[in-house]
Structure 1
Amino acid sequence: MPLIALGLNHLTAPVSLREQVAFDTDAAGTALRELAHEPGVDEAMILSTCNRTELYVSVAAGAEQVPEHWLNRHHHLTPGKLDEFLYRHDEDAAVRHMFRVATGLDSMVLGEPQILGQVKDAYQIARDAQALKAPMDRLLQHTFAVAKRVRTDTRIGAHTVSVAFTAVRLAEQVFTDLKQACVLLLGAGDTIELAARHLVDKQVRRLIVANRTLENAQELASHHGGYAISLADLPQHLAEADIVIASTASRQPILTKAMVERAIAARRRRPMFLVDIAMPRDIEPSVGELSDVFLYGIDDLRQVIDDNRRSREAAAREADAIIDLQVERYMAWRRALTLKNPALDLRHHAELYRDEVLAKAQSMIARGKPADEALAFLANTLTNKLLHHPSARLREATMSGDLDLLHAAERLYGLDQETSGEE
């Protein structure tokens, strides 16, 4: 069945549209089961991150438009709204795209390692939803091996620059000395964990971690010398923050314009720097209209990231060469699934001959024939039956000079090895 990769990302769609088609972790399994039961869909996986939403789908012939129609319908979008923003890759191009995504070659941060973990999470959700079969399961396993090899054999991961690192780097440009800053982190996932590590390296003055589940905030804060609060207590602590970095899985904004406005008043107009790297967004866009507030979104980080991209471009070319080779290997395996295996037919015919001749030998013994005579009949007849067609074809090849068939026969029966071993 044709393999399709369909999606949009930071290069093709604005953040306002990306957040409309994002899938949160809790809903992804249900959505995936829904997609997998669409007419003509054989396998499916959904990858949804802050920078992309992608569907990887195997479909029957004639059902190639089903994934796009489902995506619009699932998110209650006007038909055609996504047309100019979507990209689509088919067959080997879809395999190449998956490899490039998993290795970070298609990321905003070239070579960033976090995307591989997100692909693995998407794979696990697809397995739990029983939305995968052998071809795509094999593709995902191959993808993880390719990503590991690219990390090992190239310098694509040297001097790793993640979105979290970039957010901290941008904060450092605004607040020259982070040792004097209080930073509020919204969320407790991998991105916020990375941000916390970078902030601790910068010896930030104070770290506050806010999360919907207080226990998760406490665990993260305890590892980095921070202070944990629940999101319900956020209004009481927001004014303390010089810097806010947000990355939760909330479907609705966590910080509203009114909340930030009150915090700025309590700070007596001391500026606040906010970075929203969540998808959907955690901070209402209108917050950026306030005086003394500097709001940056995920797309605003691109300039900082581009400065670090050039040093990795040589490694990216090496990674692409590895990927091209591995795409062909996977596609060769996939093509083999559609080929008729002559070994199965050969074994089937041999077993029919065996059963036929064995029945005759047993009948001979039942009629009083000596066992030696029955065994000789069994061995000679079975040998003749098994070799009759190959022998006839080889005689024809010898007479016609068909060297290709003669050499293939030697390889097939291992005769070339026997010959090379003779003195």
Structure 2
Amino acid sequence: MPLLAIGINHKTAPVSVRERLAFAPERLQQALRELVTAGIARAAAILSTCNRTEVYCGVDQSDAARICDWLSHYHAIPSTELSPFLYVHPDHEAVRHMLRVASGLDSLVLGEPQILGQVKDAYQVAASAGTLDSELERLFQHTFAVAKQVRTDTSIGASPVSVAFAAVVLARQIFGELSGQTALLLGAGETIELVARHLREQKVKRLIIANRTLERAHALAAEMGGYAIGLDEVDAHVAEADVIIASTASPTPLLQRPVVEQALKRRKHRPMLMVDIAVPRDIDPAISELEDVYLYTVDDLQEIIQENLRSRQAAAAEAEEIIDAEVAHFFAWQRAQQGSHLIRELRTQAASARDDCISRARQQLAQGRDPEQVINQLANTLTNKLIHAPSAALREACARGDIDSVELLRDIYSLPPLPPTESA
């Protein structure tokens, strides 16, 4: 069954396009079922993060156009607007792409570890939706094993380089020491947790964590020595914040320009840094027009990130070698599965010939035939039936001079070499 990986990422599409193609977590299962029940794909999983939206699927034919059309229709984006940003990876390239993504080789931050957890989440959602088949299931399990091997056998994750780390580095570049600053974090997921850890390491003066689920905000704040609020309380605390870093799953911006304008007045226009890691964006882009506000998106972090990547380049080359080998291993498994189907068919044919011979032998024994003669006839008849097809194939291959087929049959049946051809 052909495999396809179709999507966009931070390399092919700006955040303004990525946020339009992002899937809300609560709609993923419904989207997957729609994709499969409509017959567009036989099996499917969707990976949707701030930096990428990708569909991994098994299809009856390598018809990427149907998947692209579905994406366009589902998100109400004209195909003419979407197609310039899409990439399509079939079969071997689809497998290679998934392995590289899970290993952090295709990330905005080379080798970042969060993506593996996001791939695992995509797998769990697809499994819950019932949209995986045996091949896609195997691909995910193979991917998890390869990503672990890359982490274990290379130093791809040795340096503390991530979007979260880059955001904190940016804060240090603007404010210098952070020991006198207050940071407001929107969200309480894995990325914000990493941001909070980095800020605590930098001895930030005060940490405010806002989240839709207040219980989660309290748990993270308690661990980090911060203060928890609900997202509905954010506007009242904006003026306190020197640094605002946002990463939620909100479909619309949480922080609007009028709120920030009022906050700047209360702050007497002391500068504010805002880093919007979310896709769709959490912070109104119009805020960037205000003086005394430095607003950055995930795309703006690229330069900072690049400065911290050099130590990972050699490790990435080693990882690519591992992935090359593991792509081959996956398709060897796939071919073995195809061989298993043929083996089952061969066994079925042999069992049918055996059962037919046994049935005839029993009839002859019931008629009083000599048992020794019946056994000999059964053995001869079964032998002839089992070797008829390979004998005919071998005879025809020799007649055609098809040496490759002859050698293949020799290997299969452990036959001796052909005798030398007699000279005229």
TM-score computed with the length of structure 1 as normaliser: 0.89
SS at match of 1:8: strand
Distance change (3 Å), C-alpha of 1:361 and 1:39: closer
> Cα offset for 1:391?
6.7
> Cα offset for 1:133?
1.2
Q: Residue 421 of structure 1 aligns with which residue? A: none
Alpha-carbon separation, structure 1, partners of 2:135 and 2:97? 16
Alpha-carbon separation, structure 2, partners of 1:385 and 1:14? 65
SS at match of 1:27: helix
Q: Residue 225 of structure 1 aligns with which residue? A: 225
Asked if 1:270 is matched to 2:270, the reply is: yes
> Cα offset for 1:332?
3.5
Query: What is the aligned-residue identity percentage?
Result: 53
Asked if 1:195 is matched to 2:195, the reply is: yes
Alpha-carbon separation, structure 2, partners of 1:205 and 1:79? 48
> Cα offset for 1:362?
2.0
Distance change (3 Å), C-alpha of 1:410 and 1:4: closer
Q: Residue 287 of structure 1 aligns with which residue? A: 287
TM-score computed with the length of structure 2 as normaliser: 0.89
> Cα offset for 1:406?
8.0
**Aligned partner letter, 2:321:** A
Could you tell me whether the CA contact under 8 Å between 1:41 and 1:63 is conserved in 2?
Answer: no
Alpha-carbon separation, structure 2, partners of 1:219 and 1:316? 36
Alpha-carbon separation, structure 1, partners of 2:25 and 2:211? 16
Q: How does 1:53-68 map to 2 (within 5 A)?
A: 53-61=53-61, 63-68=63-68
Q: How does 1:19-418 map to 2 (within 5 A)?
A: 19-61=19-61, 63-335=63-335, 341-369=341-369, 378-379=378-379, 381-383=381-383, 385-387=385-387, 412=412
> Cα offset for 1:160?
3.2
SS at match of 1:139: helix
Could you tell me whether the CA contact under 8 Å between 2:159 and 2:311 is conserved in 1?
Answer: no
SS at match of 2:20: coil
Could you tell me whether the CA contact under 8 Å between 2:161 and 2:309 is conserved in 1?
Answer: no
SS at match of 2:111: coil
Distance change (3 Å), C-alpha of 1:76 and 1:205: same
Q: Residue 3 of structure 2 aligns with which residue? A: 3
Please give the per-residue CA displacement for 1:125-175, whole angstroms capped at 9, x wherever unaligned. Answer: 111122221222221111111111111111111113111111111111212
Alpha-carbon separation, structure 2, partners of 1:140 and 1:252? 32
Deviates more, 1:264-273 or 1:32-41: 32-41
Distance change (3 Å), C-alpha of 1:306 and 1:392: closer
Alpha-carbon separation, structure 2, partners of 1:67 and 1:374? 62
**Aligned partner letter, 1:310:** R
Could you tell me whether the CA contact under 8 Å between 2:159 and 2:312 is conserved in 1?
Answer: no
SS at match of 1:132: coil
Q: Residue 16 of structure 2 aligns with which residue? A: 16
> Cα offset for 1:80?
0.4
Distance change (3 Å), C-alpha of 1:61 and 1:387: closer
Could you tell me whether the CA contact under 8 Å between 2:252 and 2:281 is conserved in 1?
Answer: yes
> Cα offset for 1:412?
4.1
**Aligned partner letter, 2:228:** A
Please give the per-residue CA displacement for 1:235-277, whole angstroms capped at 9, x wherever unaligned. Answer: 2222221111110010011111111112222222222111110
> Cα offset for 1:76?
1.2
Counting matched residue pairs gives 416
Alpha-carbon separation, structure 1, partners of 2:238 and 2:94? 45
Unaligned 5+ segments in structure 2 are: 417-424
Give RMSD over aligned pairs.
2.8
**Aligned partner letter, 2:333:** W
Alpha-carbon separation, structure 2, partners of 1:399 and 1:185? 78
Alpha-carbon separation, structure 1, partners of 2:391 and 2:335? 31
